[in-house]
Amino acid sequence: MAATHQVLRYSPWDGVLIALSFAYAALLLSAPSIFLIAIGLWWTANTVAHNFIHTPFFRSRALNRAYSLFLSAVMGIPQSLWRDRHLRHHAGLHHAELRDNGNGRRRSLVTRIVTRDVAVETAVVLTVWAAAVAADATLFLTAYVPGYLAGLGLCSLQGHFEHARGTTSHYGWLYNWCFFNDGYHAEHHLRPGEHWTRLPSQPLANAPASRWPAVLRWIDAFSLESLERKVLRSARLQRFVLAAHERAFRELLPRLAPIHRVTIVGGGLYPRSALILRRLLPAATVAIVDAKPEHLEIASPFLDGGVELEHRLFDAAAPEPADLVVIPLAFVGDRDRIYRHPPAKAVLVHDWMWRPRGEGARVSWLLLKRLNLVTR
């Protein structure tokens, strides 16, 4: 371990990334396929290459240059070019912008990035491609080229949805285990020089978050909200979702101490929780808080008064002045934090059927939902 730490600059854990990059190179040589190339390029770009850009693995400059050549060959992308593009992204610069060169004159990105390192890495990439064509031109054209383009497409999709609604994090353990904490994206942008092993120890309480990894985040754009809008258009669906949710609330509410104030986060476009709790807890004050005023406007006609509507962003890290807080399935934030540190004495969390936490009740198999109860 001591010898490893003399070679590696930041952490022995970077040795895992290095070993996996060599394993990927071995698979490319032994069993190339469209799927392997596409997934491998996407994974390598967002783990190995990304971390290498911000925290170069080796103490030796020569080793870092050699490893950059290796990644260029494996990924098919000159790493100096990739690094320049990515660091400009962190600086908030666009690719077509010009930059002062220190002599009072400006030069384009194309001029600035044509350096010796870029030239050498480009030559390595072209040499590898030429060797692959010479060895098996059909395999190169039918497997490598489509896999390479698909991998670039996945990288583009990832980059877009990491920032489409502001820099957004994903705290799912599986993705962060497989992608070496890449999900802590808001935290990374705040501290881009922080080593990937330390990002989970300093999460941002108010960071925008999604339940989906970035490459799957397009699901957020139409899934839950589109279902909500279908419910708005159908009285039959409204009766169904009210009945299903009311059964779950009736099962869990008797387990709680007397409730005088309820805060419902979001509430959805169709305010089912507010309608149910106003009926089940007639003596309690019920409030809906939502960061989107248009959602409150849509919900208001269903309520006919009797429910407080508050336009504000719910802060899961701050105590909520309520006896009961209700968290929707569409909650944008760190759901696991709510389970670990409930913002009120009692919290009812809408979650997927396969995510039981503590006491809970089934909402509906058809909706794949359950209601989890957490207390402090």
pLDDT digits over 159-196, tens only? Answer: 999 988 789 999 989 999 999 999 999 999 999 999 99
Are 308 and 321 a contacting pair, CB within 8 Å? no
User: Over 80: is that where the pLDDT of 242 sits?
Assistant: yes
251-256: average pLDDT:
94
pLDDT range class, residue 209, cuts 50, 70, 90: confident
User: Over 80: is that where the pLDDT of 233 sits?
Assistant: no
**pLDDT score recorded for residue 313:** 86
CA dihedral of 282, 288, 293, 294, whole degrees rounded to 10: -60
258-271: average pLDDT:
86
User: Over 80: is that where the pLDDT of 227 sits?
Assistant: no
User: Over 80: is that where the pLDDT of 5 sits?
Assistant: no
Model pLDDT for residues 137-163, shown as the tens digit of each residue = 999 999 999 999 999 999 999 999 998
Which of 73-87, 200-214, 348-362 has the least mean pLDDT? 200-214
Percent of the chain beyond pLDDT 70? 89
* Strand ranges (E), the chain: 99-100, 106-107, 261-265, 285-290, 308-311, 324-327, 346-352, 359-364, 369-375
Superfamily designation of domain 224-375: Vaccinia Virus protein VP39 (3.40.50.150)
Rounded-to-integer distance, Cα 107 and Cα 110, Å: 8
**pLDDT score recorded for residue 95:** 39
**What is the average pLDDT score of the chain?**
87
Strand 308-311 vs strand 346-352: parallel, antiparallel, or unpaired? Answer: unpaired
320-349: average pLDDT:
90
**Nearest in space to 319 (alpha carbons), one of 286, 292, 341, 288:** 341
Are 108 and 114 a contacting pair, CB within 8 Å? no
User: Over 80: is that where the pLDDT of 44 sits?
Assistant: yes
Model pLDDT for residues 283-316, shown as the tens digit of each residue = 999 999 988 888 888 888 888 878 999 998 888 8
User: Over 80: is that where the pLDDT of 104 sits?
Assistant: no
**pLDDT score recorded for residue 8:** 95
User: Over 50: is that where the pLDDT of 208 sits?
Assistant: yes
Contact partners, residue 123, CB within 8 Å, separation at least 6: none
**pLDDT score recorded for residue 114:** 55
Which of 76-80, 99-103, 170-174 has the least mean pLDDT? 99-103
pLDDT range class, residue 98, cuts 50, 70, 90: very low
**Residue that wins the pLDDT comparison between 28 and 206:** 28
Q: What is the pTM of this model?
A: 0.62
pLDDT range class, residue 93, cuts 50, 70, 90: low
Show the DSSP H helices in 233-345 as ranges: 235-252, 272-280, 293-303, 335-340
Are 300 and 268 a contacting pair, CB within 8 Å? no
Residues carrying CATH 3.40.50.150, the chain = 224-375
Highest mean pLDDT pick, 46-50, 81-85, 334-338: 46-50
Tokens (6 digits) for 362: 């089934």
pLDDT range class, residue 225, cuts 50, 70, 90: low
